[in-house]
């Protein structure tokens, strides 16, 4: 796990080594163990690298790394879990190795198999390869999107990095807010790929590769989609499915234990993290290191009791930390720095502190539970949204459009003053013949934005429509829940959930691995009949059945709580004055984008305690702090 960056110059200038070093060292937190730099003979290509040493800790495994004749160079962020298997295949073909690293395996795999070598790899990665003979750069983001790859092409220079802040160190890069992405951020909590909140800085989508030739011709293409791997046959045998899930999950956990440094698990006491602990314990001859976080002033929000029961059952070496609103407030400057672009999920705060706890206790690699709820339909709101979408399909879509228009106007008149904008937006989607389900983290709906924004920005439905259209093109299975899950995998999961893990863990120099998102398990999960994922109104039904006997029923069948910060309490209490001051006094108001009266309504109206209003407030606070930090160079005290 590392930080990578690079510059390719297409103008008359050469790559400036000092600038490349500044870009590299802006990501020292991603790689405190070593650094490296490469500039080719023509001075037109440069790579920078910061190393967090995980596999082959020797200096010989440092990057940038080249092949034997120095015609191919690589910088790579991530881990390849099956690199020993691929290495064995390559050595049989005659390749000679100088290191024990997975990086060298990627190099030789490219030499042997060309740009499609990526299908040989199982791992999480962002990879950049410069082929000196072909004068081409090839870059990849892993199948599911666990690792980021940002890039820009400005003023005759192509510049890339693991983090936007690294790109911004180059003086050729202009810093400008992306208003199209701002509208998307308000809805989805982060801009969907390929856009970012910075104009002209892009992010490579999950499962895509980038090709840039010596003439500066840039091509982005998809090399992987989970639907491309399916055979359109849904599996319905529960016993067989349970066995297959556990077999795949056991292998995934085992693969993610490959490491030359200490590793552990983030333990919440829920199904996913507890299963990670149980399966890891089966494979270890020492106690698993586990890490949990709670909140000082809200013990009812904590899951310590369940985490401690799991820790005691599996005899782990357990660690805990408590934080409060003051800790969160003090962390805000670091939060906006490490996020790069606003990422309005308050889970970032506890994620940072539990990652810091792991690092302080000598644990460099952790396994986390992300992805399970998306694969196996574990969210209660998935059941609710499924019912709403079915009602729309079998009732409202069959009504005359005039009736739905009338229904929308009536509900808007009755509910608008009460702040029921989320409910009104559902009716608007029906009226406009849009898909009902937009994702699991929809914040400012179009109804909200009509009140908040003083300028017309883009409609966020364009992204949703694109993903549904892609599903319908690739799959003949007309299954609502399956479409919901596909939507999560194409937007919220890679760009919000996995990015919060990457950014907050790497901020503390910790590598986070995600067993539930091994692509083989993901592909299998898409072949499971949705009627077995949600059964008799039980979400995550088949996974719960699969882990019976592995973890206690008390853990499996307890009410889902979710890993979250008590932002609904903090924003109305300890952080209220800070929040109110910031939302009204941020320099972002110079852009004349936001309606202050609606902001006042959000935080002071009688209905300001609504859950969606609290989330709206955090969304804006995160955005305003980001703007002031990156464009004004400060935060309000």
- Residue 632, preceding peptide bond in cis (omega within 30° of 0): no
| The predicted structure's pLDDT at residue 1 | 66
Mean pLDDT, all residues of the chain:
94
Q: Give percent of the chain with pLDDT exceeding 70.
A: 99
pLDDT tens digits for range 295-332: 998 777 788 999 999 999 999 999 999 999 999 999 99
| The predicted structure's pLDDT at residue 181 | 95
User: What is the average pLDDT across 563-591?
Assistant: 92
- Rounded to the nearest 10°, the torsion over CA 265, 270, 274, 275 is -110
Q: How confident is the model at residue 46 (pLDDT cuts 50, 70, 90)?
A: very high
Instruction: Say whether pLDDT at 563 is over 80.
Output: no
| The predicted structure's pLDDT at residue 69 | 94
Cα–Cα dist 184/618, whole Å = 16
Task: Please tell me which residue, 354 or 455, carries the higher pLDDT value.
Answer: 354
Domain positions in the chain = 2-224, 228-376+492-556, 380-489, 567-632
293: number of Cβ within 10 Å: 27
Superfamily of domain 228-376+492-556: HUPs (3.40.50.620)
Task: Please tell me which residue, 291 or 476, carries the higher pLDDT value.
Answer: 291
Architecture of domain 2-224 in CATH? Answer: 4-Layer Sandwich (3.60)
pLDDT tens digits for range 419-452: 899 999 999 999 999 999 999 989 999 999 999 9
User: Which residues share a beta bridge with 487?
Assistant: none
| The predicted structure's pLDDT at residue 261 | 81
622: number of Cβ within 10 Å: 24
160 burial via Cβ count (<10 Å: 0-12, 13-18, 19+): buried
| The predicted structure's pLDDT at residue 311 | 97
Instruction: Say whether pLDDT at 73 is over 80.
Output: yes
Place of tokens 């008149």: 413
- Point out the catalytic residue in the list 2, 5, 66, 433: 2
Q: Rg (Cα) of the chain, in Å, rounded?
A: 24
Instruction: Say whether pLDDT at 637 is over 70.
Output: no
> Residue 492: which of 385, 597, 388, 397 has the closest Cα?
385
66 assigned to active site: no
Instruction: Say whether pLDDT at 119 is over 90.
Output: yes
């Amino acid at each position: 796990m590392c930080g990578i960056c690079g510059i390719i110059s297409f103008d008359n200038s050469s790559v400036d080594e000092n600038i490349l070093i500044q870009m590299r060292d802006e990501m020292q937190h991603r790689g405190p163990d070593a650094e490296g730099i490469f500039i080719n003979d023509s001075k037109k290509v440069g790579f920078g690298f910061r190393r967090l040493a995980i596999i082959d800790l020797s200096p010989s495994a440092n990057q940038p790394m080249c092949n034997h004749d120095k015609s191919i160079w690589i910088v790579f962020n991530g881990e390849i879990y099956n690199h020993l298997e691929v290495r064995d295949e390559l050595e049989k073909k005659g390749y000679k190795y100088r290191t024990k690293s997975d990086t060298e395996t990627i190099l030789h795999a490219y030499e042997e198999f060309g740009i499609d070598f990526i299908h040989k790899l199982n791992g999480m990665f962002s990879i950049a390869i410069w082929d000196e003979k072909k004068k081409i750069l090839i870059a990849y983001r892993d199948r599911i999107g666990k690792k980021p790859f940002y890039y820009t092409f400005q003023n005759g220079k192509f510049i890339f990095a693991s983090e936007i802040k690294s790109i911004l160190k180059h003086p050729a890069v202009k810093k400008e807010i992306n208003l199209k992405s701002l509208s998307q951020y308000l809805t989805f909590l982060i801009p969907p790929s390929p856009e970012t909140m910075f104009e002209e800085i892009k992010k490579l989508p999950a499962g895509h590769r980038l090709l840039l030739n010596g003439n500066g011709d840039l091509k982005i293409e998809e090399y992987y989609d989970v639907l491309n791997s399916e055979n359109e046959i849904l599996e319905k045998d529960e016993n067989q499915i349970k066995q297959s899930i556990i077999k795949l999950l056991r292998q995934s956990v085992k693969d993610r234990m490959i490491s030359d440094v200490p590793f552990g698990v983030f333990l919440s006491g829920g199904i996913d993290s507890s299963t990670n602990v149980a399966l890891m314990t089966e494979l270890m001859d020492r106690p698993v290191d586990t890490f949990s976080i709670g909140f000082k002033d809200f013990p009812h929000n904590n899951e310590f009791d369940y985490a401690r029961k799991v820790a005691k059952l599996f005899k782990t070496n357990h660690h805990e930390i408590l934080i409060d609103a003051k800790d969160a407030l003090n962390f805000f400057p670091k939060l906006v720095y490490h996020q790069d672009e606003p990422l309005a999920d308050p889970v970032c705060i506890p994620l940072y502190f539990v990652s810091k706890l792991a690092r302080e206790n000598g644990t460099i690699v952790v396994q986390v539970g992300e992805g399970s709820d998306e694969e196996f339909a574990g969210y209660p709101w998935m059941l609710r949204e499924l019912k709403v979408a079915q009602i729309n399909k079998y009732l409202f879509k069959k009504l005359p459009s005039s009736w739905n228009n009338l229904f929308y106007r009536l509900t808007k008149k009755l509910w608008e003053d009460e702040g029921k904008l989320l409910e009104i937006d559902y009716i608007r989607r029906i009226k406009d013949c849009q898909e009902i389900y937009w994702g699991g983290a929809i914040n400012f709906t179009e109804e909200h934005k009509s009140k908040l924004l003083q300028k017309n920005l883009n409609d966020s439905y364009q992204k949703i429509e694109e993903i549904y259209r892609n599903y319908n093109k690739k799959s003949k299975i007309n299954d609502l829940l399956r479409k919901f899950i596909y939507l999560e995998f194409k937007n919220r999961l890679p760009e919000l959930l996995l990015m919060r893990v990457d950014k907050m863990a790497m901020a503390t120099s910790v590598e986070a691995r995600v067993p539930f998102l091994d692509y083989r398990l993901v592909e299998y999960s898409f072949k499971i009949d949705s009627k077995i994922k949600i059964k008799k109104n039980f979400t995550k039904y088949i996974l719960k059945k699969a882990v019976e006997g592995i973890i206690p029923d008390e853990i499996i069948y307890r009410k889902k709580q979710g890993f979250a910060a008590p932002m609904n309490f903090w924003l109305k209490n300890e952080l209220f004055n800070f929040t109110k001051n910031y939302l009204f006094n941020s320099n972002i108001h110079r852009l004349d984008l936001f309606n202050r009266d609606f902001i006042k309504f959000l935080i002071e109206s009688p209905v300001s305690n609504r859950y969606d209003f609290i989330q709206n407030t955090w969304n804006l606070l995160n955005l305003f702090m980001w703007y002031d930090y990156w464009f004004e160079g400060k935060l309000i005290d």
